[in-house]
Structure 1
Amino acid sequence: MASSDTGGVQPMQIAGRIVRERERLIGMTDEERAWRKQWLNDQKLSHNEPRHVPELEKQLTNPIRRFYRAPLDKLCDILSPALGFRRAYAIRFWTGKAALALGFLYATTYYFKYNRNDWTRKGGWRVISSRTATRPGDPDFPRLSDRTKPSDYADRGFKKATI
């Protein structure tokens, strides 16, 4: 049996039939108009909402997530009095994204630099460079290939090895 957000009870529709535009176009009584106006006004948040309740956030947030968010949350708390919460949060958000992107860039660079596919190993990325293009009018135009012998193909760096 699947659980539901309402515990098996049908949710109550507080907007009524007037929530649909076609229903409003059919016609509304003065009582429905007043109710609709009040309902729309009730949808507006007050100036001090949404409220930040630290105890509730602590209850709803995973301890591991609180741990890895702590340094940037502290940065946000330090910058908020000077810059305002929105700017401080934007700096917090983009600092985290930039750190992740930089870490990904470093990890990718490290992997490609130290895990190349050559004759000594089976795995790793195989990086193949194309030969330079020659066009009519270039001094070495009819150059076909730099590889002259069959052993030059699929070398994978074996001929350059110093063993």
Structure 2
Amino acid sequence: MAQTAGVKPMTIAGRVASERERCMGMTDAERAWRKQWLKDQVLAPNEPVYVEEYWRERTNPIRRFYRKPLDKLFTALIPMLGEERAVNYRYITGKLGLIAIGVLSVHYYFKYQGNDWTKKGGWRVLRTKPTVLPGQPGFPFKSERSKPSDYADRNFKNSVI
């Protein structure tokens, strides 16, 4: 959904947001309003305020569970790194951790769970015939498969049975 939910956005600064409009002349009421508006733009020293209950209501319990280890670690590192740096490092560490888990999962799958003659399912990985052009070593290309029974073998001949 759009940020304004289909309603055209409107600025609260009014016509005095533009310097040109202010130079054309402002009434005393507009000056007072602008002075108050500028004062309201200054944040208090304790802002932004982190409200634990608001965070808890906005996030999924599963997400809070898997984020907790890195949150604890980088909360402890805030005095050494600083708030902004700790938040950035926590974000980068989380993303790199997810990428590493993905790479290791794919590696494990293809190493131990690939398709062979013992399984019906799984991804079957086929290697294509290399391109060997005239004049290159190995031309004409001869396949390692010498007999028709070598095709569709699916590592049966390499089994210890």
* Structure 1: gaps spanning 5 or more residues: 1-12
Q: CA deviation at 1:160?
A: 2.8
TM-score, normalization: structure 2? 0.68
Which amino acid is 1:15 matched to? I
Structure 1 residues 19-58: Cα deviation after superposition (integer angstroms, max 9, x where no partner): 998xx87x97513863456435534434432122345545
CA distance in 1: counterparts of 2:139 and 2:61, whole angstroms: 66
Which amino acid is 1:79 matched to? L
| Count of residues in correspondence between the two structures | 149
CA distance in 1: counterparts of 2:84 and 2:59, whole angstroms: 21
Verify the 8 A CA contact 1:15 1:39 in the aligned structure 2. Answer: no
Establish whether residue 73 from structure 1 lines up as the match of residue 71 from structure 2: yes
CA distance in 1: counterparts of 2:130 and 2:60, whole angstroms: 55
TM-score, normalization: structure 1? 0.67
CA distance in 1: counterparts of 2:142 and 2:34, whole angstroms: 80
Report the identity percentage: 51
CA distance in 1: counterparts of 2:86 and 2:40, whole angstroms: 30
Change (3 A) 1:147 1:64: closer
- Aligned Cα RMSD in Å? 3.4
* Structure 2: gaps spanning 5 or more residues: 1-9
Change (3 A) 1:133 1:17: same
Q: 2:26 aligns with which of 30, 55, 72?
A: 30
Q: What's 2:5 paired with?
A: none
